[in-house]
Amino acid sequence: MAIQILTREKEGQKTPTRTRSKAQETDIAKATGGKRTANSGATDWSKGDVLTEQFLLEAKTKMEHSKSISIKKEWFEKNKQEAVFMGKPHSALVFNFGPGEENHYIIDEYLFLELLEYLKDKTNDK
C-alpha cells in the first residue's frame, strides 16, 4: 500500500512556498556562516530566518522569476525589533527575484556608512 503525501500548492505552482523559502534560507546561512532558525523564527525564543554572530537576517523570496519586488517598511521594523530581542547588533533584509537568483542584502544607512569607512580603510592599508 502506497502512502500519498499531500502538499498545499497554489494553482499552477509546482513548488510549495515553504520549500523555496527554506532553500533560500539555507543558501543565505551557507554564504554568511550563519544558521537557519527553527520554523523561520516563528517560535517564542528564536526570531528571524538566519542568525549570524552579528546579524539577524530576514529572507524574502519570489516564487516565480520577476523583475521587481515590493519592499514593506514593516519588514524592516519587525526585523530591527527581533534583532534586539535576539541580542544582534545588526539586521538586514535579504531578497531575490526568483528561484536560483542572486540574493541581495538591504542594510540601514548607519551600517552602510560603517561599510564605506571599512572599505576606505582597507584600501588605504594596501
Instruction: List per-residue pLDDT tens for the chain, 126 residues long.
Output: 455 444 455 556 577 788 888 999 999 999 999 999 876 655 666 788 999 999 999 999 888 999 999 999 999 999 999 999 999 999 999 999 998 899 999 999 999 999 999 999 998 876
Helix (H, G, I), strand (E, B) or coil at 114: helix
CATH code for the domain in which residue 80 is found? 3.40.1350
Relative to beta strand 104-106, strand 90-95 is: antiparallel
* Number of domains, the chain: 1
Q: Residue 103 has which C-alpha cell?
A: 540574493
Asked, for residue 91, whether it belongs to a domain, the answer is: yes
Asked, for residue 8, whether it belongs to a domain, the answer is: no
The residues near 109 (Cβ < 8 Å, ≥ 6 apart) are none
42 lies in which domain range? 17-124
Asked, for residue 10, whether it belongs to a domain, the answer is: no
E-only strand ranges, the chain:
35-36, 50-51, 55-60, 90-95, 104-106
Q: Residue 116 has which C-alpha cell?
A: 564605506
